[in-house]
Amino acid sequence: MKARLNQALAAIDESFWILPAILTAGGVLFALMLVRLDQAGAVPDWMVESAWLYNGGAEGARTLLGAVASTTIGIAGTVFTITIAALSLAAQQMGPRLLHNFTRDRGNQTVLGAFLGTFSYALMVLRTVRTEAEGAFVPHLALTVGIGLAFVCVAMLVYFVGHMAGRINVDTVIDLVSKDVRRAIDGLSADGPQSRPPPPVFWRDAVPVVDQRRGYLQQLDTASLAKWAADRHTVIRLLVGPGDRVFPGAPIALVKPPVDGVEQAIRNATALGWDRSGADDIEFAIRQLVEVAIRALSPGVNDPHTAISVIDRLGAALCDLAPLRLPSGVVLHEGKPGLVMPAVEYDGLVDVMFHMIRQSGSGSTAVLIRILDVLTAAVSCERQPKRVATLERHADLVMGDACRTIGNPYDLGDVQKRYRGFAAMKRSGPAAYLEAMASEQKTENALAPHLYDRLAANPGET
Per-residue pLDDT for 445 more than 60?
no
pLDDT band at 238 (very low <50, low <70, confident <90, very high): very high
Q: What is the mean pLDDT of the segment spanning 26-40?
A: 91
Is residue 391 within 8 A of residue 427, CB to CB? The reply is no
Q: What is the mean pLDDT of residues 135-161?
A: 90
Which has more confidence, 196 or 48?
196
**What is the model's pLDDT at position 441?**
52
Cα radius of gyration (the chain):
31
**Residues near 6 by beta carbon (within 8 Å), at least 6 away in sequence:** 219, 221, 271
Is the pLDDT score of 54 beyond 80? no
223 pLDDT exceeds 50? yes
- The CA dihedral of 406, 409, 411, 415, to the nearest 10 degrees, is 80
pLDDT-based confidence at 447, cuts 50/70/90?
Answer: very low
* 1-15, 16-30, 378-392: segment of lowest average pLDDT: 1-15
Report the pLDDT value the prediction gives residue 48, as an integer from 0 to 100. 63
- Model confidence at 458, in pLDDT bands (50, 70, 90)? low
Instruction: Give the pLDDT of residue 111.
Output: 92
| CA nearest to 272, candidates 14, 1, 4, 2 | 4
Over range 259-267, report the average pLDDT: 92
> What fold characterizes domain 170-345?
Aldehyde Oxidoreductase; domain 3 (3.90.1170)
Is pLDDT at 6 greater than 90 in this prediction? Answer: no
Q: What confidence category does residue 12 fall into, taking pLDDT thresholds of 50, 70 and 90?
A: confident
pLDDT digits (tens, 9 = 90+) for 74-86: 998 888 888 787 7
Which range is least confidently modeled, 162-166, 223-227, 233-237, 384-388?
Answer: 162-166
Strand-strand pairing, 330-333 and 245-246: unpaired
pLDDT at 191: 65
Q: Report which of 53, 57, 54 is spatially closest to residue 132, judged by C-alpha positions.
A: 57
Q: How sure is the predictor about 374, in pLDDT bands with cuts at 50, 70 and 90?
A: very high
Q: Is the pLDDT of residue 65 over 60?
A: yes
Average pLDDT over residues 404-426: 91
Confidence band, pLDDT 50/70/90 cuts, at residue 10: confident
Domain ranges of the chain: 2-168, 170-345, 361-462
Q: 304-360: per-residue pLDDT in tens?
A: 999 999 999 999 999 999 988 888 888 888 888 889 998 889 999 999 999 999 999
What type of residue sits at position 449? P
Helices (H) and strands (E) in the chain, counts: 18, 8
